[in-house]
Amino acid sequence: MIEQIATKVREGGRVNAAEALALYRHAPTHLLGSLADGIRAARHPERYVTYIIDRNVNYTNVCVARCNFCAFYRTVGSPDGYVLAFEEIFRKIDETIAVGGNQLLLQGGHNPDLPIQWYEDLFRAVKARYPEFKLHALSPPEVLHIARLNNLTPSAVIDRLVTAGLDSVPGGGAEILVDRVRRLLNCYGKASADEWLGVMRDAHRAGLRTTATMMYGTVETEEERIEHMLRLRALQDETGGFTAFITWSFQPDHTELGEARSLVEATGVDYLRTLALSRIVLDNFDNLQASWVTQGGKVGQLSLAFGANDMGSVMIEENVVRAAGAAYCMDEVEIVTNIEDAGFIPKRRNMHYEVLGDPIYREREVPRMRSLATARTDGNTSVPDELRKYPARSRQGKALRTV
Ligand code: SF4
């Protein structure tokens, strides 16, 4: 049975749910790896492994969604809650450009006190200062939150944000696209599986490219992991708008879910098997990222033998998985070393996976980054002046505006 499915995969056949489950449950890890590596090699015969230099900026940690797997958010009115000032975001962009970066991955909590005008003004201000700089921003649940807050449809939000400067949409907030799981993770309210896919469909129709993600290792079954992949594959058949797929394991530290269920993090082998299966099932995705930020550099490097062809982002800043206990850091030199040591050719890319060139530190002097920046320095509770311009929804937000 496993050998028959393996032959089908080697011949370019598409696996169904039962075949995927059989592979996941019964195929030896080395077989899964070699099948995934064969698909990677056919799609990327030049042996390039790409990465992007960008910065993961979280514009606010205030969130009303309260997903139980999240260690990052703060409730409305929390003394640790923040919204970044436009000037702080500009400074982060300046630092990103200094190390050769060309994009912000901009995501944040569902803050009820940020109307759509705040996002539009921010995007316009970024584009006015940095016309070539890209904004890979606002995952589907954030788009839905803005739509609900402003009585707009998600597609109207996307249109307005594209006009203001949005370039592409990150695939965050997908977790597992099965509503049973989403209810247990307390993230059904922020976006059901259909709603998440619907925003991506709208984004693709608007001409944007997006990524897709999967966070596994919580309460989902193996069948539900596969259902998630199949739902993404079906939308990719329909729109072709996904550039890449990224999967990572739930990081349990400091989370309500981790404590309530005494969950431990999925192992490295589980990660590699899940990654390899994704490469096999998602036969219409060109690119798979290695999630070294959650798995560490060594498993990240091994991912290149299990179907990944991209090392994701040279992280300059990370706040979300760090809050849940993972704090791996690699700068461009380390990423390139890992790629070359695995027998591949490192190339810088943009969000569209177009190759921009060789490692930038070999072209010019750039500062080395030995640690990850954070959104805010500890104890900084400042409130940006410009926030007063925008109407607040929450009682606490209204009080802050009048101080
Ligand atoms: S995962 Fe995102 S939406 Fe959920 S609580 Fe955390 S910040 Fe909010």
Question: Three-class SS of residue 57?
Answer: strand
Specify the pairing of strand 345-349 against strand 355-357: antiparallel
Average pLDDT over residues 371-381: 77
CB of 109 closer than 6 angstroms to any ligand 1 atom: yes
CB of 73 closer than 6 angstroms to any ligand 1 atom: yes
Give 358's contacts (C-beta < 8 A, 6+ positions apart). Answer: 346, 347, 348
Per-residue pLDDT reduced to its tens digit, 287-343: 999 998 888 889 999 999 999 999 999 877 777 766 776 667 788 999 999 999 999
CB of 130 closer than 6 angstroms to any ligand 1 atom: no
Q: Whose CA is nearest to atom 3 of ligand 1?
A: 65
What pLDDT was estimated at residue 402? 65
Distance 34 CA to ligand 1 centre (A): 36
Rounded distance between C-alpha atoms, residue 338 and residue 316, angstroms: 18
Task: State pTM to two decimals.
Answer: 0.94
Question: Three-class SS of residue 86?
Answer: helix
Question: Three-class SS of residue 385?
Answer: helix
What pLDDT was estimated at residue 327? 65
Per-residue pLDDT reduced to its tens digit, 33-91: 999 999 999 999 999 999 999 999 999 999 999 999 999 999 999 999 999 999 999 99
Distance 88 CA to ligand 1 centre (A): 22
Per-residue pLDDT reduced to its tens digit, 111-164: 999 999 999 999 999 999 999 999 999 999 999 999 999 999 999 999 999 999
Q: What is the mean pLDDT of the chain?
A: 93
In the predicted structure, residue 276 carries a pLDDT above the cut 80: yes
CA of 18: how far to CAs of 85, 175, 208, in Å?
50, 22, 33
